Structures are given as structure tokens and as C-alpha cells.
Structure 1
């Protein structure tokens, strides 16, 4: 009788692809968390409304009218993206210790998690092609795609 020898190569490939997929998802969470933390953990932070008066290539500025007794300010900025346009009024929260604003609500939350949606789509390719797990790949792609489409529709 002959002994059947199995190779470690398929296991090493699966482990390497799992590591790549994990790095992609962690990078997506890391990129999203910078803005998402201010939307999700907004309790105790300064809230208000921003009326955008002008935009440059990177940031938009405008009149920030905070909730409460504090008066309006004009030194606040928000990142310029497809989600912000001149003349728009947006519910925002102030990043502590800065003059930078982040949109709140569903549209702000979805926009903050946009990098995670892209990372999930990329990870789906690695999971399906490299790890040969089509169901998990479709689930990852579905969640990532739903996040991207939801953001597009909310903005």
C-alpha cells in the first residue's frame, strides 16, 4: 500500500490570501474610522448646520451655525467631495480640537464608511479567487456593493 502525501501548498496559498483579504478589510476600516468615529460617537460633540459659501479643490468653507447659545462662525471647513456643493446646507459635527466638520445623519455615516465598501469589494475578489470560497466572496461583495450604492443614493 502506498501512503498518500498531501502538499502544504494549498494551505499556504489559502493562508496568504486570507491575510491579504484581512489587510484589505482592516485598511478599509482604518480609512473610514477617521470620519466615521465623529458620526457614530457624536454625543458630547458640537453639532450644527453648515451653509457652504465656497469650495477649493480640497475643502469647502461656509457659515457654521452651532446648536445652542454660541454664535455663528465662518472659519470652519469640510472636505470637498461629491457630497458637498456650494450653497448646500448640511447637518454637521465638529471634530474635537479642530475647525474641521463632518456630515452627520445617514448620508454622513454612509459617506464615512465608503472606503470600507471599496475594501470589501476588493476583498471579495481575493476571497473568491484566491481562497476559493465563493459564498463568502459573494457575501463580501454584496455588503460592499450595498454600502457603495446606499452612499450614492443617500448623497
Structure 2
């Protein structure tokens, strides 16, 4: 028995909607990650140094900044508070241009910057596998997202 053309249109519309949802998830995850990751990946010409964390509140931690090369004097530098940033720790950081905000560098900082993309890959895997019925691609996205999150957890 032949399918009606209206049935095919509904299937194609559903597939297009699911593909759009998966794409929006991945783009949002990448964009969220890029806000921090760009300072780590494109760090040439930026101020590098170490941050000795001396005080933390609910959102940020502050401390004394020691630059690697001569740079403008900075009394205090801030870094977003996370599980890995604790009072008394010393972190390798790069400063965001024109601010006193620091971003952690090295493997741990690089992996931590991409955590939103890892979560987006896991969510998109559900949409790809369940909505689009592309199980191999869904497993690939889920494994990539899970590996990124696991590596970030272990590195921190």
C-alpha cells in the first residue's frame, strides 16, 4: 500500500524539526564554551601568569596575580568560582583582554572550558537517537560528550 503524500510530509517535517533542535543544542553548547575557550586557545599576546587564590565568595574568587612577563600592575584578579578553584590554591591563568578576569589554562582549564559542549553533545544524542532514529551517530555524540565530561572531571 502506498503512503499518502501528507504522511510523508509529516515525517519529513518531524525529521527537520528534530534536526533543528539538535543543531540548536550543539550551537548553543559551542557558543557557551567558546566564551571561555577562546582565551585559552588563542592566548598568544595575552597576559599569562599565576593566581594565588586568597578569598572566595559565592560567585568569584580573588587573589594575587604574578605575571610571567612584564605587564601592568594589578592589585587583585578574579576568577569564576568552580569546584576546582579553592582558597589557598595557585593556578596558571591567562587574563581576558582589558579586564582583571582570569581564565584557568593548561589541560584542566582547556577541558573545563568545553564542559557546556560536552553536555550539549549528550542532550543532542538523545534527540538524534530518539527523534531522528540515527542510532550510530547518536552513540558517537553521546560517547564524545561523555568522554569530554569525564576527562574534565578527572583533570580538575
Taking structure 1 as the reference length, the TM-score comes to 0.95
Contact 2:121–2:144 under 8 Å retained in 1:
yes
Tell me the equivalent position of 1:5.
Answer: 4
SS in 1 for 2:76: strand
Contact 2:47–2:71 under 8 Å retained in 1:
no
Tell me the equivalent position of 2:88.
Answer: 87
Tell me the equivalent position of 1:69.
Answer: 70
The answer for unaligned runs of 5 or more in structure 1 is none
Contact 1:92–1:101 under 8 Å retained in 2:
yes
- Cα deviation digits, residues 104-123 of structure 1 (max 9, x gap): 11100100010000000000
Tell me the equivalent position of 2:42.
Answer: 41
Q: How does 1:131-146 map to 2 (within 5 A)?
A: 131-146=132-147
4+ runs of 1 displaced by more than 6 Å?
A: none
The count of aligned residue pairs is 154
Q: 1:4 to 1:75 in 2, by over 3 A?
A: closer
C-alpha separation in 2, matches of 1:3 and 1:133: 24
SS in 2 for 1:8: helix
Taking structure 2 as the reference length, the TM-score comes to 0.94
C-alpha separation in 2, matches of 1:81 and 1:9: 45
